[in-house]
Amino acid sequence: MRIEGVPKLTKYLLIGSTKAYSGKSAIALGMALGLRAKGLAVAYGKPLGTCFSSEGAAIEEEDVRFAVETLKLSESQMPSTLLYLDEETVHKRLRGEDKTDYRQSLAQYLQAPSGDLVLLEGPANLEEGSLFDLSLAQVAEAVDASVLLVARPIDLYIDDLLSAKQRLGSRLLGVVLNDVPSDKLESVTATVRPFLEAAGIPVLGMLPRSALLRSVSVKELVHQLKADVLCRRDRLDLMVETLTIGAMNVSSALKYFRKARNMAVVTGGDRTDIQLAALESSTQCLILTGHLPPSPLVIGRAEEMEIPVLSVDLDTLTTVEIIDSTFGSVRLHEPIKVECVTQLMAEHFDLDGMMASLGLSDRVH
């Protein structure tokens, strides 16, 4: 049931996904910038924060803060997150200690935004938030929002989208297929897209895989690894696209180093030969394990090449696992990524078609 009191003139679009880390934030930000370029007034909200890490709310707030700064939103265009979903919040609800009617809270939350379109970023999948009546479908119904789903072409994504269509019905405006690998682009274009559209799921965009968007900053690696920065702290904004482990002999390592681009090289602190070889390749940072001090020769060369050297008190396997996890949950916190996603959206997303479906075409200034 639609909640009362939501402004009639403002349109609402809910950006959702069937799986976590599909790229909702990037798509929402790229879309907002594209709409703003056409003269539309856009507000942005994230009713439900869904980070379950020990830093949950802090991570969510950082995401929201970055969106505010990038879009230069006023306070009225960026209402605060209604609820942070963490373990304690869930247990309070289960124990009956939290009896809040979040549908009513959502009504109050949506009084603040004004403009042509309010973009709402949804939870990680269609189920999350159900305990609080704040699932994707429940929020969409409550504020009378259309839904745009973002999906990566992995696993059973077509089944997921068909299931989502059954649950969302006419509210499903369409889907963006994000992070499409180059070797899948032809089959997705020729086979998957027509199938989805025949099933009543318009494909409004197909964004090719971007190494830059999947990259992480050296600063983020320092944070995740709790690393010591041994040199070039001024270069922590460098972006890492690939991970290479220097655990072999130098000649074998060089073969790998020459093939990779914008690497983070993980190797033992005592492997001076590997470290020097990495510094002569496309390396964005050296990560030395075992908390062993490197040779002054390595530090001197790294200073010259402007490559940060990090030291971690971890073994190689643990270091690699943490970095892999970081790559798997990339966040959009760098201006260079915003430029990249804006360009991809301009080239591969049907913004005019989406505006027409939402009835916004006549509002272009």
Report which DSSP code applies to 170.
Answer: G
Name, in order, each residue with C-beta under 8 angstroms of 186's C-beta and a sequence gap of 6 or more: none
What pLDDT, on the 0 to 100 scale, is given for residue 8?
47
- Short-list 80, 63, 85, CA closest to 331: 63
Q: Residue 363 pLDDT more than 80?
A: no
d(CA 267, CA 287): 6
> Which of 151-165, 256-270, 290-304 is the least confident region?
256-270
- Whether residue 129 contacts residue 137, with contact meaning beta carbons closer than 8 Å, is answered with no
| Pairing assessment for the beta strands 216-217 and 239-240 based on DSSP bridges | antiparallel
Name, in order, each residue with C-beta under 8 angstroms of 58's C-beta and a sequence gap of 6 or more: none
Q: Residue 109 pLDDT more than 70?
A: no
Tally DSSP H helices, then E strands, for the chain: 15, 15
pTM for the full model?
0.81
CA atoms within a 13 Å half-sphere pointing along the CA-CB vector of 342? 15
CB atoms near residue 279 (< 10 Å): 18
Structure tokens at 89: 């919040």
d(CA 200, CA 182): 26
- Short-list 150, 85, 151, 79, CA closest to 118: 79
How much is the average pLDDT of 149-162?
93
pLDDT single digits (tens) 110-145 = 665 567 888 899 988 999 999 999 999 999 998 889
- Whether residue 249 contacts residue 272, with contact meaning beta carbons closer than 8 Å, is answered with no
